[in-house]
Structure formats: C-alpha cells, structure tokens
C-alpha cells in the first residue's frame, strides 16, 4: 500500500499561536479562504510523495541514522526557526498565503543531509530550491486587493528551537488534509 509521505519540523506553541493570529487576519480580510488546520501547521523539510512499505522503512532507518549522527555533532538548540515575513502568490483559484521562516544554518544543513540521503535511496532530486515556509491558507480571495497588500508584512520574530521532527503520512479526507506522524524525532 502506498503512503504519501513528507519529513517536517513542528514549531513551538508560541509560533503556532502567532501563525493562528495571522490566519485570523486572513479570515477577516478575505471573502474565501481555506485555512490550514492548526494541527497541520509545519515546516516541510522534504516532500517524498507516494512510498511503498519498503521505502517507508528505508526513510525511517535514514532518519534514525541521521538522528544519531546529528545528536553527536549538533546540539538540538541549534535547530532554530522564526517567523520572518508573510507573503503570497497567485494560483488559479485564489492566492496561497504563507509565513516565511528564518532558519539556522543547522536546519539548512539538515535539509541538505536529508536530500542526499533520500537520493541514495532512489528518490529523485528535489527540483526546486528549498524555501522555508509554513502554508497558512489556500484559495484566498481578498475582500479588498489594496488592503490585502498591507497584510504582506515583515515579522522578524526571534529564532526558537524546533521541538520535533516527524515523518508524516498525508491523507485526503472529507474534512481536508490529515497528517499523521509515523516517526517522531523529539529534540
């Protein structure tokens, strides 16, 4: 059975609360918006796509190996992220609104190590440059185009330690996306 998988970091409670405030602003400034559910807010480190049981086990092993290596060489408090700005881009059915994150060099190194690891397992190379962000809402239709421009703002919040990394399974449900952690890496 295939599972749609991705590796992600969850943010601190204070960061998640700040993201939810931003989502409330989106809701009040739009006529339509599909907000990301609070439990689904995350920083994707590597999208993997549809994986069979063998690939899923290989990814778990890779994460266990990298966890051991990183713990030896990299203090967890160096895996830092902070909300830096809010932006958007247009899609065919509205805008996608995201919170851009400033991340520490250690997180960028982790993304690079994960990329090399999954390529060794046979996954294709990521085509796009990694862009650290959290998706806040999709299909946003603003009430007032000019007023929505003021929503794209700089935040520059302090960097905070990432509390955990996860291997998530992504499922489409009648209530929207559901992400289930199938491997936890608590930092």
* Residue 66: predicted pLDDT: 77
* Residue 185: predicted pLDDT: 87
Cβ neighbours of 96 (radius 10 Å): 18
The two tokens of residue 114 are: 């994960």
- List the chain domain ranges: 3-186
* Residue 73: predicted pLDDT: 64
Task: Please say whether the beta carbons of 167 and 60 come within 8 A.
Answer: yes
Phi, psi of 17 (to 5 degrees): -60, -40
* Residue 74: predicted pLDDT: 63
Cβ neighbours of 65 (radius 10 Å): 12
Task: Please say whether the beta carbons of 136 and 11 come within 8 A.
Answer: no
Nearest-angstrom CA–CA distance, 19 and 167: 22
Domain covering 3-186, topology: Cyclic Phosphodiesterase; Chain: A, (3.90.1140)
* Residue 145: predicted pLDDT: 76
pTM of the entire predicted model? 0.91
Question: Mean pLDDT of residues grouped by 10 in the chain (187 residues)?
Answer: 95 94 93 95 97 96 80 67 89 90 91 93 95 96 78 77 94 92 89
* Residue 153: predicted pLDDT: 67
The two tokens of residue 155 are: 């935040």
């Amino acid at each position: 059975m295939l599972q749609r998988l991705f590796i992600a970091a969850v943010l601190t409670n204070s960061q998640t609360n700040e993201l939810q405030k931003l989502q409330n602003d989106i809701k009040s400034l739009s006529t339509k918006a599909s907000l990301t559910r609070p439990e689904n807010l995350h920083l994707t480190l590597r999208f993997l796509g549809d994986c069979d049981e063998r690939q899923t086990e290989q990814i778990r092993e890779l994460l266990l190996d990298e966890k051991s290596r990183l713990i030896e060489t990299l203090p967890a408090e160096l895996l830092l992220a902070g909300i830096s700005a809010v932006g958007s881009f247009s899609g065919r059915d509205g805008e996608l609104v995201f919170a851009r994150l400033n991340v520490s060099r250690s997180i960028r190194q982790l993304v690079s190590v994960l990329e090399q690891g999954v390529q060794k397992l046979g996954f294709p190379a990521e085509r796009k440059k990694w862009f650290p962000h959290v998706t806040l809402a999709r299909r946003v239709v603003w009430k007032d185009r000019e007023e929505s421009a003021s929503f794209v703002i700089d935040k520059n919040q302090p960097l905070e330690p990432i509390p955990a990394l996860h291997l998530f399974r992504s499922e489409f449900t009648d209530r929207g996306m559901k992400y289930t952690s199938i491997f936890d890496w608590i930092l």
